[in-house]
Each structure stands twice: as structure tokens, then as C-alpha cells.
Structure 1
């Protein structure tokens, strides 16, 4: 009887451990939610009855932003922060950590917490601005573009580890998205200096492909790509003459075969093969923002206007191959800063 009880307990433990492991391994949507403050100002903002001459530019007087997560089917919603100032969350590649920005204008901090909201710690404190950041593929550090309040050379790139250690780069030439993690996530790399001489003047904030061999960028209103190492050696680059109009680039697909971008505010995808554009599709035929690839590159999540015509911003999922689109949320608040891992 004793042995049967022991075996039963062991089996139960293994089953529960397996369930817990499976839950931890499930991909997640992470986002910020904007809710009006429950006071007169918040009410006036949502009913569009602000006093004459007043605006919501100082948004913290009217709204609160907090970080949340949910499953891609809309279940298991969890709010992780409650400071009312939290935005731009991004899950680490191993789905263990979330980095996010908190603060108001000219006073931004970077926080890192576990995916359940625990062990929340401030790793960058009250800088003038934090423009962007990228997790290392190893999930052990974040590369951050920080703006310092000083007369010139205001941008720096910082590598911040999950335990708060900081390494700083002050390189104005590569400050705007050019420093990048290598494909393994072991170090941060600078492009060849000749690259800045070859690409169109003013090119900045490129999107690096997962293998770090390619960049996507916008030039003269068009979507463009380049292979930095090859371009730097050959010292020449030119458009392929089949590029399409582009408002903004979101990201490469996890498999590096497609680029997610916007034209006329709608969700679009470009197919890329061996450095050539091979096809384009307007996937949403519907205006959206903050779009993100699913980990397997078969779906895209984005934020758009509620399909029932309420004045809220909701989360939608599109199947990339079929174009089937589904709204997975219906709330009384707005979603922002969507990310999928």
C-alpha cells in the first residue's frame, strides 16, 4: 500500500510538472493597455468633453498604461504592472523575461521582470528618453538606445544585463539602430564604416534579419533591403526597381523569409528570397498598428479599431496564408505596443 501511494504521488508530480512546463513554453502576447483614470479628467477624455483649450498631451493626467499578457486565442489575460506608466513591453526569446519602459516625458526608465510579473527591477533609471531596445538572442541582456539630456551627441547605446550590469557605447554614427546583436547573441556588433557612405543619405533605424545578414529600411518612401557586409565591400547599392511604397517597417519574420510593414496604414507582407523581393500582399485590407509575427511565422497579430465600431482598439489575428482575420478581444479600453513570442 505504501509503495502504491508513493508511486501515485510521483505520477501526480510528474503530470503537474509537465503541465507547468507546457504552460511556460506556450507563446504569449504581451502589450500595454490604456485605461482612463476613474476621475473627472478620465471621464472627460473618454467622452471627448475636455474643457476649452485643454488637450490630452499630458496623457498621465487622463490615462494609465499598464503591461498585460494573454494567450494568442484571447484567454488567460493577466495584468502585470499597476504603476500606470508602463509601455513598450517585449518578451525575451526564451519567454522568461519581459523588458518594458516606464515613465513620463523626459524621464524614462527601463524595467525587467519575469513573465509572471515577479522579480520586477529597474535597470535604467530616469533618462531623458529611451528610443528602442532589443533582446539578445540568449535572453540575458538588452541593447538599448538611450537619449541623454546634454547639448550634443545625445544618443548612446547601452547593453543592460538582466542583473542590471551596464556597458555603454557612445557612437553617434551608429546610434540609430545600427548597433545590433550577432546572430548567437554573444556580442554587439558595429557595421563596416563604409556602409554609411554607400546607403542613401539619412538611412536610419534599419530592421535586422534574424541571421543578421540583411537589413530592411525605408528610403524615399519605399521598402528596401541590403546586405551590409556585401554592400560595404562592393561600395555600391541600388534599388531593385520593384520596391513598393512603405509607411513604416515593423520586423522580419522569425524565419527571415518575409518582412512585415505598413502601406496606407494597412498590414502588408513582402516575400524575400536570396536578397530579392519576390512578392507583396496587403494582408489586412484594414488599418492597424503594432503588428507582430507569431513565433512560427504563420500568423500576424495587430491592433485595430473594434469591428463592432466601439471607440476602442482591439487585438486581431490574421492567418498569413489564408488571410482569415479574427478579433480576439472586446474591451472598454485600448491596446498598444503589441509583441508576440
Structure 2
């Protein structure tokens, strides 16, 4: 090899050699990167030519209070976690509800923060009016999958779906007794609706009420000694309470206009939550079962089907206030309203349980 004799030439040769070495090293690094991540060479050249290469941060979905509606992807129902609650104040247990999917009402479940939403039924027929058993292990509901509305039972995960009734009429709104032994429900047959009861496995079905009026949507008291229901037996539909055997019916509300059927007992057995009002402008109310005082909890938005949390501190309900039937929770005094579902479908008939 020819060696330059003067120091200046030697320095130039060393500089050129270092430059060639850097180029070779860069080429090797790029080649290894391409091999590892699988880029095509045209894409590599495009990235190397770009002077504006930067990282785009992932979007952050922030939960909102009532009155603000986020815009989730049209292909995915996103349910943000409600904020503003201390961990000890967050409601617990499970909410089951009716969800309109693929053209049919189905049964879904979620936790009371709107997370872990899960579809439980997949029938090309109406499945609705879900209610949790007192032990939280199973769900009873009404379904028309076999032609008429019958009462069914299934596990909390949707497994072991069993029909409990056959040929009694059109059956709705089942509710399991606190001891888990009985189911009360509405039977729409022969022109009128009445309250029926049967054993948990469907045996021994028999009526508790009969008459030329409609008795609908029964619910057990927390001690299992009484049943609340809505009836128009005295003209306008009002709330009533009777003993578990159907005796001693008494009226709880007086003069409340256009009461809906779906009601629920407070865990202490002192109040009934219900909805009332003209279609499109219904509100949630609570009534004291002793002195019959009534308090309105919502104002506007078309609100239906209230259900108490097991600790009695919250109420879940359906509302159309944001342009679609969605499920909400609120405090017992009507404050701190929080939206739980954000789907493009209708979510309704929530029932809160253990």
C-alpha cells in the first residue's frame, strides 16, 4: 500500500477512511432494521427523506358528566368509567339490562361503573325483563323464542338457559323472592293482566290477583313478606302492596298521573321507586310506603324503570335525555347523575343486584 509521506496527506486519508467506515456502519444498521421490522425499501427511503417524522399520541377517552356526549367509534360501543367518585363511594355488584342488538332485544350485564359489559343471549327473538336472583348467581327473564312469552332462567354468564313455564299465557317481569324459592310475574291472558307466582323451578304456578283490570310488574319486598305492583283497578294506574299470598292489597300512591309499571323496593323496605308521566316526559319518583308521600328525583329526559342498588345509596334507570335510551345511575336524592352506556343501540330495563 502506498503511504503518503507528508502529514497533511496522511490526515486527509484518515478522514476519508473514517467517513467510509461511518457510511458502511449506517448501511448495516438500516439493513438490520429493515430485516427485523419487515419494512420494504421504498418505505425506508420515504422515511429517511421525510423531515417531519413524529409520533402521534394515542387519543385519551375521558369520561363525561351528563350533558356531554362523546363520539365513540361507530363500530364499537365504548363505555367510559365514570369519574368524580372516591373509591369507597363507588357502587358495587351487578346490573342486568335489556340491550337492543341486531334487531332484537337481548339480555346484557355490566358492573355499576359501566365496565365489563357482556351480551348474554343470542336469539332471533325478544329477550327482556331481566332480574337477578338474590344470590347473584342467576338471571330470570321473559323470552318469545318459542312463540309465546315464557319465563326463562340462566346463569350469570348466560349458560344453562332453561324454560320454566309453558302454556300459561304471555308472561313478563319475573322477580325472584329474597329466599330464592319463588318467582312472581305478570300473566297477560284472556284480555287482562294479573300477578302470578310459582316455585323457582317453575312448579305450582297460580294467580295471586284476578279481576277485570290490569295488575302488572310485581316486585318482592326485601323481607319477602309483601309484593308491590301497579294496577288500574280503581281507574288510573297506581302502586299497590299486597301480602305474599295475594291478600290485603292496599294502595300506596294517590293521584299520581300515568304511573308506569316497573318499580323497585328500597333495601330497607320503606320506599318504592317508580316512574310516571306522559310518554316522552316521564320522571323517576320515590314513594314512602307508610305515609304515601311522593318525591320526584328527575326533571325531564323521559326516565323509566328505576332500580335501587343493594346498599340503597344509588338508583339505576333508563333515560332518553341524550337522544337514545341509555342507562344511568344517580344518588338517592337525584343528584350526581352518571351515564353508564354509550352505545348506538337502546339499553333499558336495568335491574341492580348482588
Judge which range, 103-112 or 152-161, deviates more: 152-161
Match of 1:130 in 2: 171
Which deviations, in whole Å up to 9, do the C-alpha atoms of 1:12-38 show, x marking residues without a partner? xxxxxxxxxxxxx951110121124xx
Larger fraction in strand: 1
The answer as to whether partners of 2:315 and 2:332 remain within 8 angstroms in 1 is yes
Distance between the aligned counterparts of 2:128 and 2:313, measured in 1? 26
Deviations 1:58-112 (A, max 9, x none): xxxxx22221100111001111111132211110011111011221695223221
Calculate the aligned-residue CA RMSD, in Å: 3.8
Specify whether residues 113 and 247 from structure 1 end up closer, same or farther in structure 2 by C-alpha distance, changes over 3 A only. same
Shift, 1:213, TM fit: 5.3
Question: Could you list the per-position Cα deviations for residues 114-157 of structure 1 after superposition, in whole angstroms to 9, with x for gaps in the alignment?
Answer: 11112222222465411332212122442344456xx7999783
Question: For 1:139, which of 147, 172, 180 is the aligned residue?
Answer: 180
- The correspondence of residues 1-341 of structure 1 with structure 2, limited to 5 A, is 26-36=92-102, 63-85=103-125, 86-103=127-144, 107-125=148-166, 128-146=169-187, 157-161=196-200, 164=201, 166-169=203-206, 171=207, 174-175=208-209, 202=213, 204-205=215-216, 209-211=221-223, 212=225, 215=228, 217=230, 219-221=234-236, 223=238, 244-249=256-261, 250-264=263-277, 265-272=281-288, 275-305=290-320, 307=322, 309=323, 312-321=324-333, 323-341=335-353
Distance 1:226 1:96, change over 3 A: closer
Classify 1:267/1:256 alpha carbon distance in 2 versus 1 (closer, same or farther; 3 Å).
farther
CA distance in 1 between counterparts of 2:275 and 2:314 reads 16
Shift of 1:297: 1.8
Q: Secondary structure at the match of 1:82?
A: coil
Asked which structure has the greater CA Rg, the reply is 2
1:294 Cα offset (Å): 1.3
CA distance in 1, matches of 2:182, 2:166: 16
Which range moved further: 151-160 or 76-85? 151-160
Aligned counterparts of 2:272 and 2:195: Cα–Cα separation in 1: 27
Gaps of 5+ in 1: 1-24, 37-62, 177-195
Per-residue CA deviation, residues 217-237 of structure 1 (Å, 9 max, x unaligned), is 5554475666769xx89x9x8
- TM-score, reference length from structure 1: 0.61
Q: Which runs of 5+ in 2 are unaligned?
A: 1-90
- Structure 1 residues 166 and 76: CA distance shift in structure 2, 3 A: same
8 Å Cα contact 1:266/1:282 also seen in 2: no
